[in-house]
Structure 1
Amino acid sequence: MSKKRFFDVPKSFLILIILFFSTALFAQQSTNYANIRNPFWRSVQFGGGIGLGFGSGYTDISLAPSAIYNFNNYIALGLGLQYKYLKQRDFYASHLYGGSVIGLFNPIPEIQLSAELEQLRVNINLDGSNTNSQDYWNTGLFIGLGYRSGNATIGGRYNVLTDKNNIYGSAFMPFIRVYF
């Protein structure tokens, strides 16, 4: 990677990466959660995702932290944040950011059903033209099914609100979900 390309990455994204890794280093400290006195925090789990994709003139970077509250062994409800940066050299650059609400239901320990409402702000800047830039909200409602083992779930989800202007390439998306 040349120095010129490195500095093309938005400064806000670099700040997010630095904050993420500095927080991750402190998260490695040993904590005995059984000794936490407040029962609310004993039922909270944190997780999320990070994605990096690079190709011939293409960049895809995403951060998606989230937290859930386990009401019992069967039901959990949570919130998530999302930021995504996409760039196709000589074509467009895009920033997507927003949040989501997720509900999880585990009828048996190995099966997880999910519903997630996601609201993202989409900013697309086409190279060489300010008049073709786009700013809009995108809403997704995902219904999912996954196999759960411990803190990890692998499965698929389907966006029931898919239309021709959808920001995703397909209504169906595989996922891996991990909460600690």
Structure 2
Amino acid sequence: MNLFFLINKKAAVSLVIILFCAFNLNAQETKSNFWKNVRYGGGIGLSFGDGFFSGTIAPSAIYQFENDFALGLGLNATFNNQKNVYKSTILGGSLIGLFNVIPELQLSAEFEQLNVDRRYDVNLNIEDYNYWVPALFIGAGYRSGNVTFGLRYDVLYDDEKSIYTTPLAPFMRFYF
């Protein structure tokens, strides 16, 4: 097991414990207000073409500590199929922090850890892959109500392992 994975695993576990403790302390102080500050959102993706299909579901939830600061967790499940080439299943989770500098400008940091399981067609003689890939996105977006549009950049981008084609990606985020 490589050292980078162990460090990422320890960091992810530490962040989950911190989030749980923060949620738990706040819930004990004001049990009735805890769920009023939880917001739900996420994404759904669907893509298809000549012999290609991709589907993604990525639910998430954030806890709104103040009007300008929130922390949350997300899940990601993606299935890809290129007929006669490969099939892949991508599963993982993320930790996200949101900060509104002003109501319209939202900064974000998101750590994502995904397991990629890629199986190639037998006739291609390409080795199957199963590996973990981390991503750390730093982003900025324009926020209007429950919707934020913006750009994010993966500072850990690895062009050989990342499931994304580029470290810079647009995003649209909804939380209700």
TM over 0.5: yes
**Aligned with residue 169 of structure 1, among 146, 165, 170:** 165
Gaps of 5+ in 2: 1-30
Give the distance between the partners of 1:131 and 1:171, measured in 2 at CA: 26
Gaps of 5+ in 1: 1-36
**Partner of residue 108, structure 1:** 102
**Partner of residue 4, structure 1:** none
Give the distance between the partners of 2:134 and 2:80, measured in 1 at CA: 18
**Aligned with residue 144 of structure 2, among 143, 149, 158:** 149
Percent identity, please: 53
**Partner of residue 82, structure 1:** 76
CA contact (8 A) 2:56 2:79 kept: yes
Letter in 2 for 1:171: P
Deviations 1:8-60 (A, max 9, x none): xxxxxxxxxxxxxxxxxxxxxxxxxxxxx710111100000101101000111
Give the distance between the partners of 1:38 and 1:161, measured in 2 at CA: 39
Letter in 1 for 2:94: S
Q: Which runs of 4+ in 1 moved over 2 A?
A: none
Give the distance between the partners of 2:144 and 2:126, measured in 1 at CA: 49
- SS class of match (2:66): coil
**Aligned with residue 90 of structure 2, among 96, 99, 102:** 96
How many residues align? The count is 144
Letter in 1 for 2:167: A
Give the distance between the partners of 1:173 and 1:43, measured in 2 at CA: 29
Q: TM-score, normalised by structure 1?
A: 0.78
Deviations 1:80-132 (A, max 9, x none): 00000011111100000000000000010000000000000000000116871
- SS class of match (2:101): strand
Q: CA RMSD in A?
A: 1.2
User: Is 1:139 aligned with 2:134?
Assistant: yes
**Partner of residue 34, structure 2:** 40
Q: TM-score, normalised by structure 2?
A: 0.79
Letter in 1 for 2:129: Q
More helix by proportion, 1 or 2?
2
**Partner of residue 26, structure 2:** none
**Partner of residue 22, structure 1:** none
